[in-house]
């Protein structure tokens, strides 16, 4: 994962962690492919990054929730020396499962899980051929146990965590690094969309800084940005799995709207 005139593809680059990671990687010397649905926002970010850091930026407006778009992304970047993929696109839901529209839950599974598998699968042959490359996949603190009132979201992140752990060992012999990033609460548009109230949260820039350091060091495995994420990891690790679920039920009760 080196930045010597190589390109990084960042999904979810229009907001939150994805946007912050794009700025961090530009500081490290990467040229960027910015991917999200909102083309106008991406163009503004690309212009600002180019003016500030002098990096080349390409904008590709895609809805990764639609099947086949990752193959399109791979095709449209085939002429670039891509060495890093940051899969930061995703969203969450919260509240009583019975009250959440099923369309929202299934769309979240598509974006958080299916699209990530499709993205990694689209770029892995290229990385294998060049015997180098890296994937950064966004896991979460909630990935390590069931979470009442965010059951589907936590399950999507558990999928990503397990996916990253398996790929890390499978792809390492090919010179490919796989990093899972498991932050705690992050203050961004994610919380508003998920209808969650966060009194203690990191900023996207905090998470991006940790990701940037891990990329420079070619870290493989899982990193947990921030004190809160590490503290909760240590606290929950002392409990059996059913105890962790009960603890997360209490946490989520204070962060999500009450049942109708």
Give the pLDDT confidence of 147-187 residue by residue, as tens digits.
999 999 999 999 999 999 999 999 999 999 999 999 988 86
pLDDT band at 189 (very low <50, low <70, confident <90, very high): low
pTM of the prediction? 0.87
Angle between helices 39-53 and 16-28 in degrees, nearest 10: 30
Between CA 161 and CA 152 the distance in angstroms is 14
Across 146-150, 236-240, 253-257, the highest mean pLDDT is recorded for 146-150
What distance in Å separates the CA atoms of residue 5 and residue 56, rounded to the nearest whole number? 9
Which domains does the chain carry?
A: 7-253 (3.40.50.720)
Q: CA 33 to CA 79: how far, in whole Å?
A: 12
The residue written with tokens 């930045």 in the block is 3
Structure confidence at residue 226 as a pLDDT band (50, 70, 90): confident
Name residue, tokens 């002392």: 238
Helices (H) and strands (E) in the chain, counts: 10, 7
Using alpha carbons, list the distances in angstroms from residue 128 to 120, 122, 176. 12, 11, 7
Q: Is 18 exposed, middle or buried (0-12, 13-18, 19+ CB in 10 A)?
A: buried
């Amino acid at each position: 994962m080196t930045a010597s005139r190589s390109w990084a593809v960042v999904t979810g680059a229009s907001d939150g962690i994805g946007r912050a990671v794009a700025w961090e990687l530009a500081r490290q010397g990467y040229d960027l492919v910015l991917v999200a649905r909102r083309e106008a926002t991406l163009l503004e970010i690309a212009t600002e990054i180019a003016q500030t850091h002098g990096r080349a930026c390409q904008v590709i407006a895609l809805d990764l929730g639609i099947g086949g778009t990752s193959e399109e992304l791979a095709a449209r970047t085939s002429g670039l020396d891509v060495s890093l993929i940051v899969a930061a696109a995703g969203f969450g839901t919260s509240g009583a499962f019975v009250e959440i529209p099923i369309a929202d839950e299934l769309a979240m599974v598509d974006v958080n899980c299916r699209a990530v598998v499709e993205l990694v699968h689209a770029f892995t042959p290229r990385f294998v051929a060049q015997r180098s490359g890296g994937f950064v996949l966004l896991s979460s603190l909630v990935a390590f146990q069931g979470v009442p009132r965010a059951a589907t979201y936590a399950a999507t992140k558990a999928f990503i965590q397990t996916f990253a752990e398996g790929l890390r060992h499978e792809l390492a012999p090919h010179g490919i690094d796989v990093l899972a990033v498991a932050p705690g609460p992050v203050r961004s548009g994610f919380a508003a969309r998920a209808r969650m109230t966060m009194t203690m949260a990191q900023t996207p820039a905090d998470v991006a800084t940790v990701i940037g350091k891990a990329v420079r060091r070619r870290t493989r495995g899982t990193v947990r940005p921030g004190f809160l994420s590490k503290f909760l990891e240590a606290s929950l690790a002392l409990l059996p799995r059913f105890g962790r679920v009960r603890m997360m039920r209490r946490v989520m009760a204070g962060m999500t709207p009450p049942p109708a």
